[in-house]
Structures are given as structure tokens and as C-alpha cells.
Amino acid sequence: MAETKYIFVTGGVVSSLGKGIISSSLGKLLQARGYNITIQKFDPYINIDPGTLNPYEHGECYVTVDGMETDLDLGHYERFTGIQTTKANSMTTGRIYKSVIDKERRGDYLGKTIQVVPHITDEIKRNIKLLGQKFHYDFVITEIGGTIGDIESAPFIEAIRQLKWELGKRAINMHLTYVPFLKAAGELKTKPTQHSVKELQSIGIQPDILVLRTEKHLGDGIRKKVAAFCNVDFDCVVQSEDLPSIYEVPVNMQNQGLDAAVLRKCNEPIEPAPQLGPWKAFLERREKATKTVNIGLVGKYDLQDAYKSIRESLSQAGTYNDHKTVISFINSEKLTEENVAEKLAGLDGIVICPGFGQRGIAGKIIAAHHTRTHDIPTFGICLGMQMMVIEFARNVLGYADANSREMDEKTPHNVIDIMEEQKNITNMGGTMRLGAYECLLRQGSRAFDIYRKEHIQERHRHRYEFNNNFEKEYERNGMKCVGRNPESELVEIVEIPSLKWYIGTQFHPEYQSTVLNPHPLFLDFVKTAIEQHKNK
């Protein structure tokens, strides 16, 4: 393709319509047709990145290979398409303003008054086009966070209006809306969609494609009505019904011709629809897997989105082990020594989740103790790994006051310590050890067996780290430090080889598990949990 084409994905009526899933699905379908694509997210909030946001506000914080803390939608982009996103795939109002203000201080605009239009909108446009220009993608899909009509998204929408005008057929808008079903009336209602499209039109954007989110199937009559009221071609009105799994969405979109409609709107030739072989094989395997494996997530955020990538990684691993992963959340704040056996009963494997701060860590330590002493497969991730290490120090090495410096600044048994380079850092935003780092695995270890190689790369997000001064004691007593950063010597993986599966990783493997490339650690963990289930 000669020039990059731009697809802008906006949402109306309500939030949480699944713009991220639709963007990922469209990306997947275009990719299957041989196009080189990328997907980026522009979020209208003022934070520079979501790194300082509470998961209750924003769900999980996803980390890219190059160390950007981003929106969880980037996780969907990677899981669906297998592309690796970077810092440039994620933008916020905060970063746009910061860049404009920095330029103003440098004198780049000398003599001028800096305004939302054109300076902020120009900066948004420049950033939207950045990836396409640099890597010559065929398609760049840009998802705009929030809902049409929000005050804060106005400059982004204005930038899209301008780009659509400037780029002509090279830019289209795909708008997602909601079609509610009113039970009392027994009817599906299109008026909110009509209003949302009017709102877009009043800003000067004519949507090219409409995706109608619905809990009930929409007949052709409704699609025709929407098409007529909104000036959109009939074949460009598709529906996104609730499906048993988000991974079915690409196939559903292909069956309705979403990708073909996009190509037609962009003046691209339309070849017959591709087979999606491996993807469909994954779905078939998933459907056939009826036996269940029960995994418990021990964490403090009782919210689906808080551990999104971990949940998806476990679910993918279930499919590849021909099982359905059933995930239960166990609130670590409510775990006590008295109730731990009861709360973890019936679970075949336990994940001790990542996190920050004091709240809920006592429960994580209790869980780690219970699963270690009862040989229940356990996977500790980041803070979860640190809690495994602390539990081992307290109950095996005999240091009752062992702790992380994050929780107790004064303990002499700081088995988890602040990293050297973190000691003088005062700013909280974007200053952790972030992104992909190399790790060297010890031959003969369980981790080495699982990865089947010595050199791996995994993504990180932390300030604290295993204290190497205690390493010998751990090793002597059965907890092995089997993964290590070759430059800094930081311990990245611990395991207890005498147990069925007791592995903690300082990194976050969940960021790298995709539908077609599931992560080996999750695959092996779930496999062991299934064996545990059978042995019960």
C-alpha cells in the first residue's frame, strides 16, 4: 500500500462498549489479509500515563516492552494481534499538553498565543501520524478513550475532524454505540445511537462505519433504520452482540464483513475473506474444553479489570491444556490463618497477585504459607513473588521480622530491599524499573525446563527487589534463585524445586501472553494445577 490509512475508533452513549476489543478484532482481520497494522490509544485524561492511577479508577496498568505504563487496552491489542506496542502507541492529554508547553518554553512558537486550536490539535495530529510515518504501516487504528460529547475529548475529536478532511479517503471513522433493550416495552431502542451520531455530525464528523453494541440480536430492520437515520451504508452497520468469549469477536466481525466494509471505505481492493485458521483452531479447542481447572487469585482489588492480563493468560493457558479455567478471586484483606484452608479449598492452583503498599499483604503471606506447606501449585507475580520470599524467611529461615523495605523501613531482615538506583528517586510517575529486561535462567531449574532456553526477556514494573545478601541462606534451605539479570545480578525468579509448582517471578509474564503465543509459565502452571485436580 502506498500511503498509510487511518481508522479512528470513537464511542458514544456509554463507556465500556468494548472499543478496545473491536479495535483489536479489526486489527486482527486486516492483518490476516496481509496488511501491516498497528493500534494506538489516545486517552483524554490529564495524567501523563495511568501509572499513578489506582486500579479502581482505571483497571490494570499495562506495561510495554519499552517501559511505558499504559492503558489495559494495549494488552488486548497485543493479545489479539501479536504486535508489540511501544510508548508511541499510547498518548494522553497530559503528554500532549506537556509537549506543547515544553515547546513554548523553548521558544518554538515565539510571538504566538498558544491555543487549543491549532496548537493542541496540531500536536494531537502529529502524534496520531507518528507511527504511520515512521514505520509505514498500511493501517493505523487509533482508539479514542472516553465517550463522544465529553468536554475533555473535544480537542481529540476536533483533530480527527481535521485529519479526515486533510486525508480524504485515507481516514475513516468507526463509531461504537449502544442499542439498549427496554424490557417493559419489549423493544430495542436506536434513539441513543441516533443522538450520538448527531453529536458527532454536529462536530463535523460523519461516521463511515457504525458498530452497535447490543445484548440482543438486531434484525435487518433495525440496521436499516440506523443506516438511514445516520447517513451510513447498510453494510457498514454491524452489530456487536454479547458473546461467550471476547476471542470470538474477530470471527463475528468477519462474518458481518466489517473488514471488507473498512477496505471499501478506504478504496482498497477486497479479496475473499481469509481463513483465520490458527485463530479458529484456538476457538474450537476452547469450545471443546469442558473440564474445568480452578485457579484462585489472591489480591486486594475485587474488580475484573485489575488483573486483566493475568486472567487472560490463565484463560489462554486453560484452552491450550484443553480445560476451562475457572478463576475465583480471594480478597487477601480477608484472609486469616483461621480461614485460609477453607477459603482456598477446592482450588487447584493459586496466583499471588502483584500490587503496592501495605494493604492486603498479610493475607498474601498467609496464602503463600498455606500453599507452600500443603504443596498447592502457586505462582507469585511481582509483589506476589516478594511475599513468597518474605514468608519463607519468616517461617523457614526463622526471621520473624523479615519484610520488604516497602512495608517496613527498619527491619534488619530486609529480604526484599529497595533497588540501588531507586534510592534517590522522589518523583512517583514513570520512575520504577519498567519494561523488558534480560534474564538468565539456571540450567536444570524448573524455570529453565519450562522456557527451554537460557536467555529470556520479560517486562517489569517495580522498585523493590530480592536482597542478594540473603541468597545463600535461601539456597541452602531450598528456595532457589534461578533467574537473574546478567548485568545487575538482580534475582528475577525464585522456585522451590521440591514442591510441585512454587515459582515466583519479579517480572510480569502476563504482559507477554497472547492468544496464538501463550506464555510457557502460565501453560505449565495450569498444567500442574490440572494434575493437582486429578490427584484430589
* Catalytic residue positions, numbered: 382, 508, 510
Among 47, 331, 356, 440, interactor with ligand GLN by CB under 6 A:
356
> Of 237-245, 272-280, 330-338, 349-357, which segment contacts ligand GLN by CB under 6 A?
349-357
Binding residue per annotation — 224?
A: no
Q: Cβ distance 50 to 61 under 8 Å?
A: yes
What's the closest the beta carbon of residue 339 comes to ligand GLN, in angstroms? 24
Specify the 3-state DSSP secondary structure of 231. coil
Q: Smaller CB distance to ligand GLN: residue 230 or 503?
A: 503
DSSP state of 178: E
What's the closest the beta carbon of residue 314 comes to ligand GLN, in angstroms? 17
Binding residue per annotation — 189?
A: yes
Binding residue per annotation — 192?
A: yes
Nearest-CA neighbor of 328 among 302, 308, 290? 302
Query: How many chain residues interact with ligand GLN (CB under 6 A)?
Result: 10
Q: What distances in angstroms separate CA 239 from CA 234, 244, 280, one per listed residue?
A: 12, 15, 20
Binding residue per annotation — 315?
A: no
Q: What are phi and psi of 23, to 5 degrees?
A: -60, -45
Q: What are the CB-based long-range contacts (under 8 Å, 24+) for 196-200?
A: 196/12, 196/13, 196/148, 196/149, 197/12, 197/229, 197/230, 197/232, 199/12, 199/148, 199/149, 200/10, 200/12, 200/148, 200/157, 200/173, 200/175
Q: Smaller CB distance to ligand GLN: residue 246 or 368?
A: 368
What's the closest the beta carbon of residue 361 comes to ligand GLN, in angstroms? 9
Distance of CA 119 to the CA centre of its chain: 31
Binding residue per annotation — 133?
A: no
Q: Smaller CB distance to ligand GLN: residue 158 or 417?
A: 417
What's the closest the beta carbon of residue 401 comes to ligand GLN, in angstroms? 19
Binding residue per annotation — 129?
A: no
Q: What distances in angstroms separate CA 208 from CA 93, 197, 226, 230, 235, one per listed residue?
A: 26, 11, 13, 10, 10
Q: What angle do CA 389, 325, 446 make, to 5 degrees?
A: 40
Distance of CA 28 to the CA centre of its chain: 16
> Of 94-102, 196-204, 298-306, 350-358, which segment contacts ligand GLN by CB under 6 A?
350-358
What's the closest the beta carbon of residue 464 comes to ligand GLN, in angstroms? 3
Binding residue per annotation — 164?
A: no
Residue 513: Cβ within 10 Å count: 24
What's the closest the beta carbon of residue 161 comes to ligand GLN, in angstroms? 39
Q: What distances in angstroms separate CA 263 from CA 242, 257, 374, 489, one per listed residue?
A: 25, 10, 57, 50
Distance of CA 376 to the CA centre of its chain: 27
Contacts of 191 (CB under 8 A, 6+ apart): none
Residues 407-466 that bind ligand GLN (CB under 6 A): 461-464
**458 CB-contact burial (10 Å; exposed 0-12 / middle 13-18 / buried 19+):** buried
Q: Smaller CB distance to ligand GLN: residue 76 or 461?
A: 461
Q: Smaller CB distance to ligand GLN: residue 164 or 462?
A: 462
**217 CB-contact burial (10 Å; exposed 0-12 / middle 13-18 / buried 19+):** exposed
Number of residues written out for the chain: 536
Binding residue per annotation — 6?
A: no
> Of 94-102, 218-226, 339-347, 352-360, which segment contacts ligand GLN by CB under 6 A?
352-360
What is the rounded CA–CA span in Å between residue 458 and residue 492? Answer: 9
Q: Should residue 382 be labelled a site residue for ligand GLN when binding is judged by CB under 6 A?
A: yes
Q: Smaller CB distance to ligand GLN: residue 12 or 55?
A: 55
Residues 460-499 that bind ligand GLN (CB under 6 A): 461-464
Binding residue per annotation — 74?
A: no
Among 78, 138, 406, 458, interactor with ligand GLN by CB under 6 A:
406
Q: Cβ distance 518 to 525 under 8 Å?
A: no
> Of 241-249, 354-362, 511-519, 521-529, which segment contacts ligand GLN by CB under 6 A?
354-362
| Helices (runs of H) and strands (runs of E) counted in the chain | 18, 22
Binding residue per annotation — 521?
A: no
Residue 322: Cβ within 10 Å count: 14
Which residues are documented as binding site for UTP? 15, 189-194, 225
Which residues are documented as binding site for Mg(2+)? 73, 143
Which residues are documented as binding site? 15-21, 56, 73, 143, 150-152, 189-194, 225, 243, 355, 383-386, 406, 463
Which residues are documented as binding site for CTP? 15, 150-152, 189-194, 225
Which residues are documented as binding site for ATP? 16-21, 73, 243
Which residues are documented as binding site for L-glutamine? 56, 355, 383-386, 406, 463
Residues lying near ligand GLN in the complex (CB under 6 A)? 354-356, 382-383, 406, 461-464
